[in-house]
Amino acid sequence: TAAVAPGGSPYEITAETGIRVPPVGAAAGVAARTTAAYLAAVLRPATGFELPVDSRSGDVELRLRPGLKKAVGPEGYELTSGGDGVVISAARPAGLFHGVQTLRQLLPPQVEADTPQDGPWPVAGGRITDEPRFAYRSAMLDVARHFFTVEQVKRYVDQLALYKYNTLHLHLTDDQGWRLAIDSWPNLAEYGGSTQVGGGPGGYYTKDDYREIVAYAASRHMTVVPEVDMPGHTNAALASYAELNCDGVAPPLYTGTSVGFSSLCVPKEVTYDFVDDVVRELAELTPGPYIHIGGDEAHSTPHDEYVAFMERAQAIVGAYGKTVVGWHQLAGAHPVEGAVAQYWGTTGGEQEVIDAAKAGTPLVLSPANRTYLDMKYHEGTPLGLSWAGYVEVRQSYDWDPGAYMRGGVPESAILGVEAPLWSETISTSDHIEFMAFPRAAGAAELGWSPAAKLGWDGYRDRLAAQGPRWEAMGIDFYRSTQVPWD
C-alpha cells in the first residue's frame, strides 16, 4: 500500500526543534535512538541547529509500534506532519529508517549540504502511509575490476540509503582481482588482489575492512550480499594458486576486460577444498542470509562440469547456513530449494529461467538493458560499456518488474530488483555517481512503489526535483535531456 494525503499546516524545523524517542529502557528505545541520532547528524550541518535527541520532548517524534506491521509490513512506515510537529511510526526499525528518508526528501534540497544554509526548513503538512512492493531492493558495486576503498563504498551506501535500498551486493572477485583476505588461502588477496583493469595497484579488504563495510551498511538497514564468482571469472584465483588449474600451471595476472576464458578445475578435489574454505570464512564474516556464487559466463567450463560444480558449490553454501544466490545461468544447472537466481538478460524470455521461476526459484531482476548502471547513456557517454545497448534514463525506468518475465511467470516469483554497477571503466567515486545517478533512483522506485504509482510522465518531474538535492550532496549526476531539471 502507499497513500499520500496532503493537507493542513506545514511544520518548520527551527533552532527549538528536538527529536523525541522512546525511553532508553523501552525495547524500542535503542533502535529509535540510533535512527534519531542518524537523522540529527544528517540535518545539523546545513541547519546549524542542535536537534537534541530526548525521550521527554521534541516536535519530531520517532515511534516504534509493532501493531503497525499489518498495515505497513516490516519495512513500511507512517509519517504525519502538521503545525505542531512530525511523527514517524513504524513496526520495525527498518521502517523507521525509511520514514526518516522520506522526511529528508520533504525538506528543501539544501538540507543535504555539509555547510550552513539559510533555510527555512518547512515540512509540508499531511499524512503518508508507505511500504515497499518488493522485499529485495539492491545495488551492486563491482570492486573487482577496479578496487574501491572502504570509504568509497560507505559513501555509496549513504547515497543509496536515501532511496530506501536495503541490499548491497559486493562483487568481490573476478579475473582482474580478488578483493577479500582469506586466511586459509592468503595469496588470493595478496597476489590476486595486486592489480586491476589497466594494471593499477588494485587492493583488497582485510577482514576488519569487510566487517566495517557490513556494519556500516547495517547501520543504514542494508544487508551485504558478498559474491565470489565461480567457476568462471576466476583468473585472479588461478594466478594465485597453480593447483587450482587443471594443468597445474598458474596463468599470469590479468588486467584486460575480456570474459569467459577462465575456469576452476572442476574434476580436481582441491577445487572443493578451496570453495569450502572461502565460503566458510565468508559465511563467518557475513551476518546476512545470502552468499552469491556467480556462475555467469563460464564459457570455458563444459556444461556437464558446470552442472556438477554448481551442485557441489550450492551444497557447500548450504552447509554453512547460507542461502545461495547465483546469476541466472544457475537455472541451467539444478538450483537447490530456496536458491535465488539473478536475471541479467535483456528479453525476459529465457526458457530455463522461466521454468525455474515457475518451479519455485525466486528471481532478482537486473535486466542489463534496463538496470545495468555501467551501460552508456548514449554514444557520447565518456564512461561505461554498450553491449546491452544505450540505457537512457527513461529506458532504465520505463518497465514493470512484476510483469517483466515472459511465459506466465507471476509477480510472486519476483523477489526484487537490483541495479548493478560493473567497473571495467569506472575507477573513482565521481565515476560511480555519474553512472548511478539518476538511474539508481529509478531502480529504487521500481523496487519500492506499487505498479499503479509507476509512470514516466510523473516520475520525470519527481526526478527533476532531485537534481538540486544531488547538487547539495556533491553528487556529479548525469543531466539527461529527457528530464526537466530545475
Amino acid identity of 116?
P
CA angle 264, 270, 272 (to 5 degrees): 70
Residue 419 CA neighbour count, 13 Å, CB half:
29
Give exposure, 278-298, as e/b (b: 16+ Cβ within 10 Å). bbebbbebbebebbbbbbbbb
Tens place of pLDDT per residue across the chain (486 aa) = 679 999 999 999 999 999 999 987 766 678 999 999 999 999 999 999 999 999 999 999 999 999 999 999 999 999 999 999 999 999 999 999 999 999 999 999 999 999 999 999 999 999 999 999 999 999 999 999 999 999 999 999 999 999 999 999 999 999 999 999 999 999 999 999 999 999 999 999 999 999 999 999 999 999 999 999 999 999 999 999 999 999 999 999 999 999 999 999 999 999 999 999 999 999 999 999 999 999 999 999 999 999 999 999 999 999 999 999 999 999 999 999 999 999 999 999 999 999 999 999 999 999 999 999 999 999 999 999 999 999 999 999 999 999 999 999 999 999 999 999 999 999 999 999 999 999 999 999 999 999 999 999 999 999 999 999 999 999 999 999 999 998
- All structural domains of the chain, each given as residue ranges with its CATH number in brackets, are 2-130 (3.30.379.10), 136-473 (3.20.20.80)
The pLDDT of residue 29: 78
User: Which candidate in 297, 352, 411, 471 is catalytic?
Assistant: 297
471: annotated active-site residue: no
Q: What is the CA radius of gyration of the chain?
A: 23
Compute CA 57 distance to the chain's CA centroid, rounded to the nearest angstrom. 36
3-state secondary structure of 250: coil
How many angstroms separate the CA atoms of 467 and 257, rounded? Answer: 33
Q: Give 37-96 as a DSSP string.
A: HHHHHHHHHHH-----EESS--SEEEEE-GGGHHHHTTT-EEEEEETTEEEEEESSHHHH
3-state secondary structure of 285: helix
How many angstroms separate the CA atoms of 59 and 16, rounded? Answer: 9
The pLDDT of residue 1: 64
From the list 436, 435, 441, 429, the residue with the least C-alpha distance to 465 is: 441
